[in-house]
Structure 1
Amino acid sequence: MPTRTAAKTATRTPAKERLSRAAVARAALALADAEGIEALTIRRLATGLGVTPMALYWHFKDKDALLDGLAEHLFAEVTLPADDPDGDWAEQLRQVFDALLAALARHPAVALVVKSRILGNDPGRDVSERILGLLRRGGFSVDRAAQVGVYALITMACIVADEPGLEVGVSDDERDAAVRGRWAALQALSPKRYPNIVDSAESLTDCAASDQWLELGLDTLMAGIRAQAPR
């Protein structure tokens, strides 16, 4: 479930560890989780790690490369279920989506950033290969499987990043104030012209149960994929 409250930046690690590529990527992900993707810069990250920016350039030449490393670290968190060639393809696809969505939901601040980088690293390619293989097993053509796979990834990233009430890098009080402001704006609309929006104002501005929100999103996605499956 996405964390709504800003967390403290990870404590400093021993010098040898913090200068490894994996440790830098892990720290970058932690910083984005805590303060939002806008706060992630080479200089800000170096300060948090207690090193000079030049020390990080050995591993990542610029922020774009850093985001690539961050994406690789996130997709490495996806635990793929065992593949069963004789099992139901749709049930297995849902399990893969569950695992991918869980990894994205742990890092909502970067969900929209990493979706375009899934094919740029081995962990992401492993996830993509499994998804495409299961769609092909379900009867989708090569082109259609690719299209459905891309759409599914975009959908899952948006499910995570656009959850009503989600705020990254702010305090509980700041989040509550933002939610109340959006709710008040909808409540101020004309109930005659927008009766359904006014009635749904609370649900549209704050998700009461993140797990239910994510599950409904995947249910909707899978229903659409099943409906289009040739087999």
Structure 2
Amino acid sequence: MKSKNSLSPAAVVDRALAIVDAEGLDALTVRKVADAFGVTPMALYWHFANKEALLAAVGDAVVSQIRVPDEDLPLEDYLRDAMTSLVDSMRAHPSAAPLVAQQIMQAETGRDLTERFLDKLALAGFDIDRSASMAHYAMQIAMTLVSREPGAELAVKPEDRQAVLDHKRATLASLPEDRYPRLRAAADAMIECDNSDEYYADGIAIFVAGVMADARALAQA
């Protein structure tokens, strides 16, 4: 157990993030973090006014791990790198993904990424409203890819995950084969992801392809 002398904002955030990683976002409480340091919850309030402030700091810590791509990259490469960086930061801490969406505009790294993202779209001919929508879509797609990765089952306890997956398989296997042959054949692939890297790369590629199709249409207009 850590000592009271080791209590610092950075240490508190690290411990809070470890709890979120291991047990999920809903499991994070000020008391649980305080217990890890062997102090009372009041000791944490010297650094964070409430749980909401602690959650914001955890989100900032994840956002700070985002790598801002080279701004000289062409649009397609920049979009791919930006999305990959955003997804990678969430993949490292999937249960904290909702906090990234909340805090990305509060952290310098997140603002820089978004500013350059919007600038690239503006230079490609997108107006402000369309560019803002694309940035919003990028965040939502990244969050969905991470939080809904087949087999991850982030909403259930790790020890219950296999039972949930087995139940889903049994449900699909029980469907009439004459009516749902494709669904039954795809059951394993839909329930669990055999190749996570390919899953994320495909999701990012679909988003980038959609933006580039719009960019080409604007250039031809």
User: Is the shorter-chain TM-score for this pair beyond 0.5, marking a shared fold?
Assistant: yes
Q: Is 1:129 paired with 2:115?
A: yes
Q: Is the 8 A contact 1:72 1:123 kept in 2?
A: no
Query: What stretches of structure 1 move > 6 A for 4+ residues in a row?
Result: none
**Cα contact 1:165–1:179 (8 A) shared by 2:** yes
Larger deviation: 43-52 or 207-216? 43-52
1:194 aligns with 2:180: yes
Q: Deviations over 1:35-86 (max 9, x none)?
A: 11111111111112322211212222222222211110001011223321xx
Task: Please tell me whether the aligned partners of residues 112 and 158 of structure 1 are also in contact (alpha carbons under 8 angstroms).
Answer: no
Aligned CA distance change for structure 1 residues 45 and 200 (closer, same or farther; 3 Å): same
Q: Write out per-residue CA displacement over residues 172-211 of structure 1, whole angstroms, 9 at most, x where no aligned residue.
A: xx43222111111111112222222212111111111111
* Aligned alpha-carbon RMSD (Å): 1.8
- Find out whether 1:66 has 2:54 as its counterpart: yes
2:17 corresponds to which residue? 29
Matched residues, percent identical? 35
Distance 2:5 2:118 in 1: 39
Kept in 2, the 8 Å contact 1:74–1:104? The answer is yes
Bigger mean CA offset, 211-220 vs 44-53: 44-53
Letter in 1 for 2:188: E
Report what 2:151 is aligned to: 165
2:39 matches 1:51: yes
SS in 1 for 2:105: helix
Q: Distance in 2 between matches of 1:17 and 1:122?
A: 27
How many residue pairs match? The answer is: 215
Unaligned runs of 5+ in 1: 1-11
Counterpart position of 2:134: 148
CA distance in 2, matches of 1:118, 1:51: 31
Provide the residue aligned with 1:94 in structure 2: 80
**Structure with the largest fraction of helix:** 2
> Which deviates further from its counterpart, 113-122 or 151-160?
113-122
Shift of 1:132: 1.5
Q: Distance in 1 between matches of 2:180 and 2:101?
A: 34
The answer (yes or no) to whether the contact 2:3–2:37 under 8 Å persists in 1 is: no
Q: Which has the higher contact order (CA 8 A, sep 6+)?
A: 1
The TM-score with structure 2 as length reference comes to: 0.89
